[in-house]
A and B are shown apart, each in its own frame.
Chain A
């Protein structure tokens, strides 16, 4: 597959690794934000290849994981209603709420459907005018244009039975939070390539200059990530802190204007609660008031339950790179992908899940 396969070439990968090794004069700690990038790093063992000169830690790059507990509980409440068809991306189905998850709601008779696109949910609404169709709009900025389009179309067509439960989160506020922490170890960031495809690079230029930390917008294939790592190492060794773009085949400095235009029509920036952290100001999107008829928060009268969150998992420390998942006492025992306790284990893209599935820790002990 063009623009995919060639970025998996093992020979070029080896060359990039050699370049990285040659460039490194002291160890550096880098973080990638996006779950898709974490997945690639684990799958190809890139962390193994760039160690020990480069240590890779994994950021809160999984909007599935960081969807607020209250939002999940709202989703479950909506999905349990007999008059509702609840459409969601597959990876949301396993995310636990306070007492249940969408899989269990489905098992109890709820009409829960997996869709690959918000437009599929819209199709359901058209096909079943007698049912309320609710789409779980979870994601970073990447997913927002599509969701905005679905809401716009629903509005245009007067599809009153279609609504969205919005849980969009924004990347830059999360990076700010990480960098503002006194315990932060991360010295350079691989910025999420598909988020930047939509949003452009400006926010990352600001972050680089505000915190004097280099940012490189990276793609998702192994060569993309290796190249991004090389570029970050280059900046760090030179003492520079700029925003650079590795993923030039998809990302421009300005991003995608038509996409942002429709996002601005439909969404406004709001405060948002991140699971396990709490509310981060101006870190999410909500629907503008003129789209209230399509806003599941307003369509369904839900009383929010604030759940007590007992602390055993060390998500915070993992996400800052202070601990690795296997350092957690619950890792692999009480906390597994089937019975997740914390945000990074919940989705298949979270750091703990990536560690668990690829069992990196066991490989370490195997190597002796």
Chain B
């Protein structure tokens, strides 16, 4: 049961004891429960599964590791072995 996708928190409010956010997924907004990511604030990206945010995307880690992948892709294009 793993279908979870990243979305951006637009805003949040407290509803009935829970923190509920408006999360945007590429042009669609949905209400998402943010109780499992208390540190997340509007502007952050979260991974959402079945209406719940289960993690806060670590933007720095993501940038860092993706930069490595991009470099790999660029070097491969130039025909240089990146290992």
Chain A residues within 8 Å of B, Cβ to Cβ: 1-4, 6-7, 9, 11-12, 14-16, 18-19, 22-23, 34-37, 61, 63-64, 89, 116-120, 138-140, 142-143, 145-146, 149, 153, 156, 192-195, 197-198, 220, 223, 227, 248-252, 256, 258-259, 262
A194 x B6 contact (CB < 8 A): no
Interface size on B, residues (CB 8 A): 42
**Shortest distance between the CB of A220 and any CB in chain B (Å):** 7
Contacts of B82 in A (CB 8 A): 15, 19
Contacts of B72 in A (CB 8 A): 12, 15-16, 19
Known contacts A2-B6, A140-B1; A194 and B49 CB within 8 A of each other: yes
B33 x A146 contact (CB < 8 A): yes
Ordered nearest first, which 6 A-B pairs have the shortest CB separation? A117-B51, A139-B1, A15-B76, A12-B73, A1-B26, A3-B6
Contacts of A116 in B (CB 8 A): 50-51
Q: Give the distance in Å from the alpha carbon of A251 to the alpha carbon of B45 in the complex.
A: 14
- In the complex, 16 of the A-B residue pairs with CB atoms within 8 angstroms, ordered by the A residue number, are A7-B66, A11-B73, A12-B72, A36-B2, A89-B50, A120-B51, A142-B49, A146-B50, A153-B16, A153-B18, A193-B2, A249-B57, A250-B47, A250-B55, A250-B58, A256-B54
Question: Which of A11, A18, A37, A248 interacts with B62 by CB under 8 Å?
Answer: A248
**Shortest distance between the CB of B68 and any CB in chain A (Å):** 9
Question: Which of B17, B57, B77 interacts with A250 by CB under 8 Å?
Answer: B57
Question: Which of B17, B49, B52, B61 interacts with A249 by CB under 8 Å?
Answer: B61
**Shortest distance between the CB of A154 and any CB in chain B (Å):** 12
Residue of A nearest to B65 (CB): A248
A9 x B73 contact (CB < 8 A): yes
Contacts of B81 in A (CB 8 A): 22
A143 x B5 contact (CB < 8 A): no
Give the residues from 35 to 66 in chain B that come closer than 8 angstroms, CB to CB, to chain A.
35-38, 45, 47, 49-52, 54-55, 57-59, 61-62, 65-66
Q: Give the distance in Å from the alpha carbon of A73 to the alpha carbon of B25 in the complex.
A: 37
